Structure 1
Amino acid sequence: MSCHKINELFELLGPEWNKDAHLNLVEVLQKLAEEAGHKGDLSSLTDDTLIYHLKMKGEKSDAMIPGIEKDAEPDFKAALLKARGIK
C-alpha cells in the first residue's frame, strides 16, 4: 500500500471514528464494512472499499464516484469520439 493511500484513509477515517469514539478501531472498521455491504471476513476488506465508502458515505445514491467524474462524458457519442481521439 502506498503512503498516499494510508494518508487518505487516515484523513477519511478520523472524522468517522470520532463520531463513535467509544468503539475501538476493529469495531469501527467492522461497522464501515457492514455499511459498505461487505459480507466476508474483515481481513478480506480492501483499502479501496473503505476509501470509496468513506468518500461516498454522505452522497446521494446516484452520485458519481470521485475519480470517475472527471472522465465522464455527457453522452455515448462524445465518449466514442473521445476514445477514438476525436474531440
Structure 2
Amino acid sequence: MNEVWVFHGTGGRMTSGIFTSRKEAEEFIANYRLSGSLTKYPVGISVYDWAVQEKLFEPRKPEQFEPGFIQRFTAATQEHYHYEAGKPSSSEDSELG
C-alpha cells in the first residue's frame, strides 16, 4: 500500500505539507523550525476504512457508522511523531538524528 507523511502545524486548521518520505518531511520541519505532528497516512483509502480493514477498529455503536464520526476519525495506531521548534519531542526518534 502506498503511503504519505502529513505535517499538521500546531494551531493550524489545515495540513501544511504532504511528503513521500519521513526524511523529506523532517527536513522541511527542521529547516523552518516548525512545531506540530507528522503522521503516516495510507493513500487511496480513508483512515476509517483502513483501520476497519486492518482490524484496528471495529465500529459497534450506531454513531460510529455516521458521517460526522467517520469524517473526524483518526487512529492512534497510525505512525506519528511530534516536533517542537523543528526538533522531535524529547521522547521520540528522528531520522535526522
Same structural fold, with TM-score higher than 0.5 when normalized by the shorter chain: no
The structure with higher relative contact order (CA 8 Å, sep 6+) is 2
Which of the pair is proportionally richer in strand? 2
Structure with max Cα Rg: 1
